[in-house]
């Protein structure tokens, strides 16, 4: 997955959440997941190193409460938030944009999966008894194999391009010109096939 937070933005988000109330690491992970509507939930390997860094910088403290480690913001952490209020506002705006982008990606993936499922079901319904949808009626086995290879190549290409575009969108470098060039290039490729 492409980075959801730009450099330093997770740090500010963690400080902002801890400014509301002390939390343990899992609560922070869940709270971040809720902010992204479940479309993105950071891993422990992403959050805990940031918390350790914030602690080493004196911006948060941690106390052990039974089996949980609870993090709380310090006065220095609050001062950091106050000093970077404009940056935090930009982070919040970026989170909203990332949520929309992730939701659009999920919608597109679900839509593509449904179209593929419908096509598979239609092919299966048309296949004679004993023949699978993977072996279409009028397509020789070699053609079916080639078709599967092309479909896998298209799926891999689509996944990589989506990751690249998400990364650019997160960084604010995805332009209408890029979208137009991609759309035109794909249409030219489709016509050439």
Report the pLDDT value the prediction gives residue 135, as an integer from 0 to 100. Answer: 52
Residue from 86, 10, 94, 7 nearest 51 by CA: 10
Would you say residue 136 has pLDDT above 60? no
Mean pLDDT for all residues in the chain: 78
The residue behind tokens 């390997």 is: 45
Report the pLDDT value the prediction gives residue 93, as an integer from 0 to 100. Answer: 65
| 4/103 Cα distance (integer angstroms) | 13
Strands 60-65 and 23-24: unpaired
Tens of pLDDT, residues 53-105: 999 999 999 999 888 899 999 999 999 988 888 877 776 666 656 556 666 66
**What does the block give as tokens for 157?**
């290409």
Report the pLDDT value the prediction gives residue 2, as an integer from 0 to 100. Answer: 43
Would you say residue 152 has pLDDT above 80? no
DSSP alpha helix (H) spans, 38-175: 44-56, 75-83, 85-126, 141-171
Find which of 31-40, 50-59, 110-119, 125-134 is predicted with most confidence, using mean pLDDT. 50-59
Tens of pLDDT, residues 32-61: 888 777 767 888 998 999 999 999 999 999
Domain at 9-103: CATH code: 1.10.10.10
Domain borders along the chain are 9-103, 142-192
| 102/178 Cα distance (integer angstroms) | 19
Report the pLDDT value the prediction gives residue 49, as an integer from 0 to 100. Answer: 93
Report the pLDDT value the prediction gives residue 1, as an integer from 0 to 100. Answer: 40
Cβ–Cβ under 8 Å, residues 167 and 2? yes
Please give the residue that has the higher pLDDT: either 147 or 16.
16
pLDDT-derived band at 151 (thresholds 50, 70, 90) equals confident
Cβ–Cβ under 8 Å, residues 133 and 120? yes
């Amino acid at each position: 997955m492409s980075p959801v937070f730009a450099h330093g933005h997770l740090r500010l988000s963690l400080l902002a959440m801890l400014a509301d109330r002390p939390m343990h690491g899992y609560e922070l992970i869940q709270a971040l997941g809720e902010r992204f509507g479940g479309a993105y939930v950071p891993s422990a390997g992403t959050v805990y190193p940031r918390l350790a860094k914030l602690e080493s910088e004196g911006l948060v403290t941690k106390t052990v409460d039974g089996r949980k480690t609870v993090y709380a913001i310090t006065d220095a952490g609050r001062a950091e938030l106050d000093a970077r209020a404009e940056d935090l506002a930009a982070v919040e705006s970026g989170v909203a944009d990332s949520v929309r982008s992730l939701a659009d990606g999920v919608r597109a993936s679900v839509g593509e999966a449904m179209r593929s499922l419908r096509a598979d079901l239609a092919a299966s319904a048309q296949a004679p008894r004993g023949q699978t949808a993977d072996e279409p009626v009028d397509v020789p086995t070699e053609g079916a194999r080639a078709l599967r290879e092309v479909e896998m190549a298209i799926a891999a290409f689509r996944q990589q391009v989506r990751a690249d575009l998400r990364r650019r969108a997160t960084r604010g470098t995805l332009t209408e010109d890029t979208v137009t060039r991609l759309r035109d290039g794909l249409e030219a490729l489709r016509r050439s096939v």
